[in-house]
Chains A and B, each alone.
Chain A
Amino acid sequence: MKEIVVISGKGGTGKTSITASFAVLGGRDVVVADCDVDAADMHLLLEPDFGRSEAFFSGELAVIDQDLCSGCGQCFDVCRYGAVNETEGTYTVTELDCEGCGYCARVCPDQAITNVSRNVGDWYLSKIRTGSSMVHARLGIGAENSGKLVAKVKTEARKVAGYSGRSLVLVDGSPGVGCPVVSSLSGASLAVLVTEQTVSGIHDLKRVYELVRKFDIPAACIINKADLNAEVLTDLRDFMARETIAPLAEIPYDEAFTAAITNGKTIVEWDPAMAELLESSWLEIRRLVDSD
């Protein structure tokens, strides 16, 4: 089983549209894992049925049992996050500020503090309209995305691919350069970078590529909005050649992307010219993962 991870660093580069297109092109061979849980949009294009749903827990929260608390204030003294509050001798914890380090519970002489697991969201296993399955998640407000949730989504997707005999897991990776994207990349056979040809796009691509290199994962790149600025394009092509990133396609700036999304379709189902570009990219991706 191979795992293809699509990442971009920056938002708005067309990553989700392109990943959804690959899901459609791959059809029954491909199990989709949406690890962009902070702004998970893939479900808008692939019509998941939310067949199975489970709560997801990550991190801890300190809770003070007022019946046991003697009001000594040691928890208040050790908390570096200002999460313990005191009002007229009563100590409480502010949920948003608590980082779950557990220090307060360790020093409490009354054993009045317990660390409870935080329910940070739900994850789902769905049937999708490509005839295959998708694992996706939704984070609660202000919750922290983490390597743990991303790893969970990916593990479940691999499991489904395993027992249903699908050969590929396609991961819509997390944004940014932090822990979630590290976890998105872990175990990948190929990283597909989707960038846009803007100064911001290339800036963020270079930052996220540092992670790909660390993992020794082969990389390929799709340049979106590739006709916006010739100077940036040259810079981008040079960067790819230097880093031996396989070029997949240069896609022109096209409002068909938006038109497709608006109609609940992926770009390959909407625009024949785009479909051709992405079909050849998909074939090349298949070739790259099968040859390594």
Chain B
Amino acid sequence: MNIAFTTQGPDLDSPMDPRLGRTRYLILLDDETGDIQTVDNTAIDDVSHGAGPRTVQKLVEMGAAVLLTGNGPGGNAAEVLEQTGIEIYVGAGEMTAKEALEAYKNGALKKHGGA
């Protein structure tokens, strides 16, 4: 299964970025093979409006099944996510990506919106 993280840096030791749309990096972890794919999302700074949907589009292209992040998604991002079927878990904004993964496995993260 592919698990995606919104992070402030390019590896799993990086702190999570609590934001979805304007996250610095997206990391995708294949938890069966341990393969990691990192996408630099910093160019999102140049987007005035609609950062959320743009970032979700990247998540879809990466093939994420689960997303671990800090806050719930804003309205527009939520709408795309609903259509993609990606499961969202929130409340990991203050952790590192590794800690977020542990918290997710232990069922300590809150599933967002039941979507």
Chain A interface residues (CB < 8 Å from chain B)? 2-3, 58-59, 146-148, 151-152, 155, 179, 182-183, 185-189, 214-217, 292
How far is A58 from B20 in the complex, measured between Cα atoms in Å?
21
Beyond known contacts A59-B48, A187-B18: 13 more, CB 8 A cutoff: A3-B18, A146-B49, A147-B48, A148-B48, A148-B49, A152-B45, A182-B74, A186-B71, A187-B19, A189-B93, A189-B94, A215-B71, A216-B71
How far is A1 from B74 in the complex, measured between Cα atoms in Å?
21
Q: Is B80 among interface residues, defined by CB-CB distance under 8 A?
A: no
How far is A189 from B16 in the complex, measured between Cα atoms in Å?
13
A179 touching B49 by the CB < 8 A rule? yes
Chain B interface residues (CB < 8 Å from chain A)? 17-22, 45-49, 51, 70-72, 74-75, 78, 90-91, 93-94, 110, 112
12 chain-A/chain-B pairs, Cβ below 8 angstroms = A147-B51, A148-B46, A151-B45, A179-B49, A182-B75, A186-B74, A187-B17, A214-B74, A214-B78, A216-B110, A292-B91, A292-B94
How far is A285 from B75 in the complex, measured between Cα atoms in Å?
26
Known contacts A186-B22, A187-B17, A216-B90: A148-B45 contact under CB 8 Å = yes
A214 touching B75 by the CB < 8 A rule? yes
Closest residue to B78 on the A side, CB-wise?
A214
Q: Which of B19, B45, B48, B91 has the most CB of A within 10 A?
A: B48
How far is A147 from B52 in the complex, measured between Cα atoms in Å?
11
How far is A3 from B94 in the complex, measured between Cα atoms in Å?
10
B47 touching A148 by the CB < 8 A rule? yes
Determine how close the nearest CB of chain A comes to the CB of B15; give it in whole angstroms. 8
Closest residue to A188 on the B side, CB-wise?
B71
Residues of A contacting B20 with CB < 8 Å?
186
How far is A187 from B22 in the complex, measured between Cα atoms in Å?
9
Determine how close the nearest CB of chain B comes to the CB of A165; give it in whole angstroms. 14
A215 touching B72 by the CB < 8 A rule? yes
How far is A2 from B18 in the complex, measured between Cα atoms in Å?
10
Residues of A contacting B47 with CB < 8 Å?
148
Residues of B contacting A182 with CB < 8 Å?
74-75
Determine how close the nearest CB of chain A comes to the CB of B111; give it in whole angstroms. 11
B72 touching A216 by the CB < 8 A rule? yes
Residues of B contacting A147 with CB < 8 Å?
48-49, 51
How far is A193 from B91 in the complex, measured between Cα atoms in Å?
21
Closest residue to A146 on the B side, CB-wise?
B48
Residues of A contacting B45 with CB < 8 Å?
148, 151-152, 155
Residues of A contacting B71 with CB < 8 Å?
185-188, 215-217
Residues of B contacting A151 with CB < 8 Å?
22, 45, 51
Determine how close the nearest CB of chain B comes to the CB of A176; give it in whole angstroms. 14
Closest residue to A2 on the B side, CB-wise?
B94
Residues of B contacting A148 with CB < 8 Å?
45-49
Residues of A contacting B93 with CB < 8 Å?
187, 189
How far is A58 from B48 in the complex, measured between Cα atoms in Å?
7
